[in-house]
Copies of this chain bind each other. A is one copy, B any other.
Amino acid sequence: VRVENRKKVHHFENFVFAAADNDSEEQSEKIVPGAWRDDLPAYSAAEVAEHNSLSNGVWVFYANGVYDISEFVRQHPGGADKIMMAAGSSIEPFWALYAQHRCDEVYEILEQWRIGNIEVQASASRAEASDDDAMFANEPDRHPAFKVNSPRPFNAEPPPALLVDRFVTPNAIFFVRNHMPVPPRVDAERYRLSIETQDGRCVSLSLDELRRLFRKRIVTATLQCAGNRRSEMSAQRQVRGLKWGTTAISNATWGGVLLSDVLAHFDLATPGELSFKLAHVHFYGADHDGAGTHYAASVPAEKVLRDGGDVLLAYEMNGAPLPPDHGFPLRAVVPGHVGARNVKWLERVVLADAEVDSHWQRKDYKALSPSIDWSVADDQDFADAVSIQELPVTSAICSPPPGAVVDASEQDYVSVQGYAFSGGGRKIIRVDVSANGGRTWHSAKLVRSVHDEDVPLHPHDFGANEADSDAARMVAAAYLASPDSNRYAWTLWSVDLDIDQDNTNDRTVELCVKAIDEAYNSQPDSIDPIWNIRGLLNNAWHRVQISIVHSD
């Protein structure tokens, strides 16, 4: 979180640099971190992996270097929880998220903890994804920080504390919700998108034509899976579905063209042209189940056409081409709507009079009444329910994690961070946080909200530390020039809650959070009244229990 970052920059300046023992003069000119050193022993990846806790020692590797950072963990300016994510493995995927590590000062600090060498096996972890199933031959490498809820099809969410570190989520840790295997990578030169009407008109477009014929549009939009926070709902009463924690949600800046511009250009529909015949827009993905069923979902045509709409055919994510897990080469981005409508690997768009006849539109992604359980649910119940489109207001605590222990002898406050979001472009106007289960509330500081329009975005927020940094900077500039640019983005928040120092008993405290959006919708207090058999849209207050102890 930005607030935390500011605090940590202060710590960083105070950090006492101790020069490495060896050859410090040459290093200060040009450090080559992780270069093989014949004076040190060699370790296997398995040996490093055993050292993944404070009790066993914390080892990491970088290039060919092995480091014992046990003593450094608590000094880490970014917090012990972040650096521990790399314990026993490579720190490179994490440093890829944080450009500030790429400087000589940091390399020097790293090298002072050097204990050995490792033979780097570039594809060690990838070997697991062996090709015993041809369907899954196209899965890309994924970031080791992910918590994987399903390996096939791949569904994974990032660590909460890492997620809220950035307003714009780096592509590498953006949550992944795949319904089927990742389809074969298409040749961007040969890719075609087809757009069809029900009266038989059709156009077919190349990626180059999309880029060349239409003005590029940018939108920062938070996507959230309808199943986010399903685990909590399932803990109350069993539901069916992937056991998502709190981070099946991420925020990116998408680049592409307005679908309404394309429809108008080919005279398939003009902005504002809505009728009974053109009431829904269907999106079909290239991903399929091997038996002919492609992923498909639809949105009301109004979302596409009203006032030019804001549905993108997106070819960029944070200034880079879409990664394989996020729909390369093209996806629908439907800002403010549930993730399931943002169809990836987009192949086909159909203008229609009714919702698409797919499982994901007609049977799934509908929240039934809490009174309907699997023993009574029938087709009529699903037919009667309304498809999830715009998302309800929600929020979650991302730090501290459940079970965290805070030593009241060391600090007189608990720092709490998280996200809040509402669908339909409704901004978050207030986030209330409680340290006593909801009896009394404190307003959190909001970042990237209606209240902080003067806080500038940083190029890092647009992936500028990733491959295509010039493009990312251009995206950032274009984005900043547009008013009301954060309508569809989440709000990050932070608050320091005082610890009652008169109470010296060790105790458990329930933190909870609820957000209020600009329509003054707020979150339901409890899960039971919104429980549904598929465990969708759990937006009850998020509750985290932590311990307050007194070490002295």
Residues of A that sit less than 8 Å from B by CB: 272, 274-276, 306-308, 367, 369-371, 384-386, 388-393, 423-424, 426, 429-430, 432, 438, 440-443, 450-451, 483, 514, 516, 518-526, 529-530, 537, 539
Contact = CB atoms under 8 A, between A and B. Distances in A.
A423 B525 CA distance: 21
Which of A384, A390, A521 has the most chain B CB atoms closer than 10 A to its own CB? A521
A432 B519 contact: no
A519 B421 CA distance: 13
A223 to B, nearest CB: 16
A386 B516 CA distance: 11
A307 B525 CA distance: 36
A484 to B, nearest CB: 8
Contact of A386 (B370, B514, B518): B518
- Tell me if A's interface is mostly helix, strand, loop or mixed: loop
Nearest to A338: B520
A441 B529 contact: yes
Given A369-B443, A386-B450, A483 B274 contact: yes
18 contacts: A272-B308, A369-B430, A370-B441, A384-B451, A386-B430, A389-B519, A390-B519, A391-B520, A392-B521, A392-B522, A423-B519, A424-B424, A441-B529, A522-B530, A523-B524, A524-B524, A525-B526, A525-B529
Contacts of A426: 390, 424
A310 to B, nearest CB: 11
A371 B529 CA distance: 25
A424 B537 CA distance: 20
Nearest to A438: B529
Contacts of A519: 389-392, 423-424, 521
A371 B483 contact: no
Contacts of A391: 519-520
Given A441-B370, A441-B529, A483-B275, A429 B386 contact: yes
Contact of A371 (B274, B308, B441): B441
A307 B304 CA distance: 12
Contacts of A443: 369, 371
Contacts of A440: 371
List the 3 closest pairs (A to B, CB-CB), nearest first.
A307-B307, A390-B519, A525-B525
